[in-house]
Amino acid sequence: MSEVNKERRQLLGAGAAVASLVVAPGVFLVTAGKGRADEEAGEAGPQWGKVRWGMLVDTAKCSSGCTQCVSACDKENHLSGETLPTSSQWIRKMELTDRETGKSYSLPMMCQHCDNAPCVDVCPTGASFKRWDGIVSVDRHLCIGCRYCLMACPYKARSFVHHPVTDQNPDVPRGQGCAESCDFCKHRIDEGQIPACVEACGSTGGGALLFGDLNDPKSEISQRVATIATLQVRADLGTEPAVRYEGIL
Amino acid sequence: MSVLGRIARCLRPRVLGFVALMAAAGVCGANQGAVYSSGNLGPTILKAPGHCVRPTEWMRHNHMKLLLEERTEWVRQGIRDRKDSLENCVKCHAADAPNGAVFGAKQDFCVSCHNYAAVKITCFECHSAKPKGKVPAFHPLYGPMGPHGEGANAHGLALMMRESASTGRLGLGASK
C-alpha cells in the first residue's frame, strides 16, 4: 500500500467515525421527536391505545318497554326525542324476534365505536375521527355535511342535523349541517363520569348497560367479556365494535 | 392537522383584515367603567368581571387563533382543562350581559365587535352562547390538576402553540 493510500484510508476512517458521531445525534433527534409526542400527551394524558372505552349490553336485563337510555341521551345531548326521518337519534331501542322460535329480544343500538370505523375511512375531510381512547366522533369544525358516513355506517348510527339547533348543552355543541352520533358522552367521560345512558339504565332502568375500559384487564367489563359469551353485531364485517351484546347468541 | 392548517392559511387574509379593524377600534376604546365606548366611532364593548386569560390588547388581535388551537385539543384529544376555552370565554363574558349570553342581541360581547368589523362568526350556530355555570373538572387519568397542571409534563405543545399564536404563525403546522 502506498503512503498516499494509507493516509487516504486513515482519513476515510476518521471521516466514518465523525459520520457515526453525526448519526448518533441524528438518532437522538429522532428519539427526541418521538419523545415530543409523549410530552404533548403528558405522562397520564392522551396516549393512543392506552384506554379503549367499551360497553356491554345484557339483553336479558333490557326490557322491551323501557326507553330510559334513550330519554337520558336526548336530555343530556339536547336532542328533540322525535323519531321523524329527519330527527337525530344517537341511541334507539330495537326489538328483534327470532322467526323460528318466536323468542324476542330488546336492545339499544347506538354508535358501536368500531376499531376499524367505516365512517372514519370514508370521511373526505377528516372530520370523522377516532379518539385516542377509542371513541369515534365528529369534529364538527371540519364536517361539510356530505353524509358519506351515514351511508358507510353498517349500524345506521349516524344522523344528520337537518334543522337549526338552539339551546344546546354548553358541553355538547351541535348544529345544522353536520353529521353526528353517539360519542359515549365524551364530555362526561373527560370529567370522570359515565355516559348518561349507562347512568340512567343503572338507576331507573334494568341495569343492562356496563361501561368500562376494555384495555384494562382489571375492569369489570374486561373480566366479563373474558368469561361469558358476547357478540359484536355484524362481526363478519371486521369493524371490531367496542359495544358488545350478551344473550342474543 | 394539515387540513386545519390549510383552512387556517385560507382564513388568514380575513383574519388580518379583522385584526386591522380591531386594532383601530382598540386604540380608541379605553377602559372607562362597566360599559365603555369609543365615542361614535367604535363598538360598545361590555366589560367582563374578573381578569382575562390574556391581556386585552393581545386578545383583540389573537383570540381567534387561541380558539382555533384550543378547539383542536378539546375536540380531538379531549383536553378540557384549558382556561382559554370558548366555554370559559362565554362563562365570563356573558356574566354581566343583559340577556346572559355573548351572542344574540346587538349589545352582546361577541356581536358588538363583529358587527362593527363586519365579520360573520358561526361559532354559536353550534355552541351555546350561554354559560353552564359549573367549574370544569378533570378526568381521573389526568390527575387533579389536569394534563397541564402542576407536575404534569404536557406544557410543550401548549407553550409552542401559544408562542406561535403570538408570533402570528398558527401552531398547528409548526411541529413539522
Residue ranges making up the domain that contains A230: 53-246
Q: How many domains does chain A have?
A: 2
Asked if A226 and A188 sit in the same domain, the reply is yes
Separation CA B87–CA B98 (nearest Å): 18
Q: What is the pLDDT of residues A189-199, one digit of tens each?
A: 999 999 999 99
A2 vs B53, residue with greater confidence? B53
3-state secondary structure at position A87? coil
Amino acid B25: pLDDT: 45
A198: CATH: 3.30.70.20
Beta-strand pair A243-246/A53-58: parallel
pLDDT 10s digits, A111-161: 999 999 999 999 999 999 999 999 999 999 999 999 999 999 999 999 999
Model confidence at B173: pLDDT above 80:
no
Ranking A145-154, B48-57, B150-159 by mean pLDDT, the lowest is B150-159
Query: B130 to chain A: which residues are within 8 Å by CB?
Result: 170
Helix B155-166 / helix B56-72 crossing angle, nearest 10 deg: 130
CA quadruple A29, A35, A39, A44: dihedral, nearest 10: -170
Residue B149 DSSP label = S
Which residues, listed in sequence order, are joined to residue A129 by a DSSP beta bridge? A137
* Confidence label for A9 from pLDDT (cuts 50, 70 and 90): low
* HSE, side-chain direction, 13 A CA sphere, residue A195: 29
Residues A3 and A115 in one domain: no
pLDDT tens-digit map of A68-85: 999 999 999 999 999 999
- Say if CB A135 and CB A186 are below 8 A apart: yes
Residues A228 and A113 in one domain: yes
Q: What is the pLDDT of residue B8?
A: 56
Q: Which of A57-66, A118-127, A154-163, B40-49 has the lowest mean pLDDT?
A: B40-49
The DSSP symbol for A231 reads B
Closest partner residue to B126 (CB to CB) among A46, A129, A173 is A173
Same structural domain, A24 and A64? no
B78, A40: Cβ pair inside 8 Å?
no
Alpha-carbon span A79 to A86, nearest angstrom? 12
- Determine the pLDDT at residue B14: 54
Say if the Cβ atoms of B126 and A168 lie within 8 Å. yes
Cβ separation B128–A140 shorter than 8 A: no
Distance from CA of B127 to the nearest CA of A (A): 5
Q: What average pLDDT does the segment B1-14 reach?
A: 56
pLDDT band at residue A4 under the 50/70/90 scheme: low
**Is B138 in Cβ contact with A39 (below 8 Å)?**
no
pLDDT over threshold 60, residue B135: no
pLDDT at B81: 82
How many Å lie between the alpha carbon of A101 and the closest alpha carbon of chain B?
46
For A43, the closest of B78, B126, B152 (CB atoms) is B152
Q: What is the average per-residue pLDDT within B17-37?
A: 46
What is the rounded distance in angstroms from the CA atom of residue A12 to the CA atom of residue A8? 6
C-alpha cell at A147: 353524509
Give φ, ψ of A94 to 5 degrees.
-115, 145
Q: What is the mean pLDDT of chain A?
A: 87
For residue A88, the model assigns a pLDDT of 95
At residue A20, what is the residue type? Answer: S
* Nearest residue of A to residue B90, measured between CA atoms: A170
For residue A64, pLDDT over 80 is answered with yes
pLDDT at res. A62? 96
Cα atoms in the 13 Å half-sphere on the side-chain side of A136: 29
- pLDDT at A180 (0 to 100): 97
Neighbours of A160 (CB within 10 A): 17
Look up residue A242 and give its DSSP letter.
S
Which distant-in-sequence residues (6+ apart) come within 8 Å of A144 by Cβ?
Answer: A124, A125, A127
ipTM of the prediction: 0.75
Q: CA nearest B161 in A: which residue?
A: A40
Task: Say if residue A90 is in the same domain as residue A211.
Answer: yes
Question: Which residue did the predictor score with more confidence, A138 or A36?
Answer: A138
Does residue A179 share a domain with residue A147?
yes
* Range from A79-93, A203-217, A220-234, B70-84 carrying the lowest mean pLDDT: B70-84
Residue B47 has pLDDT above 70, yes or no: yes
Least confident of A169-183, A204-218, B1-15, B84-98: B1-15
Instruction: Give the separation between CA B59 and CA A90, rounded to whole angstroms.
Output: 37
Residue B164 clears pLDDT 50, i.e. is over it: yes
Banded model confidence at residue A2, pLDDT cuts 50, 70, 90: low
Alpha-carbon distances, residue A18 vs A31, A92, A122, A243, B37 (angstroms): 20, 66, 49, 56, 66
* E strand intervals along B35-141: 35-37, 44-46
Averaged pLDDT for residues A228-244: 96
Q: Tell whether A91 and A193 lie within a shared domain.
A: yes
Q: Same domain, yes or no, for A166 and A227?
A: yes
Question: What integer is the mean pLDDT of A7-17?
Answer: 55
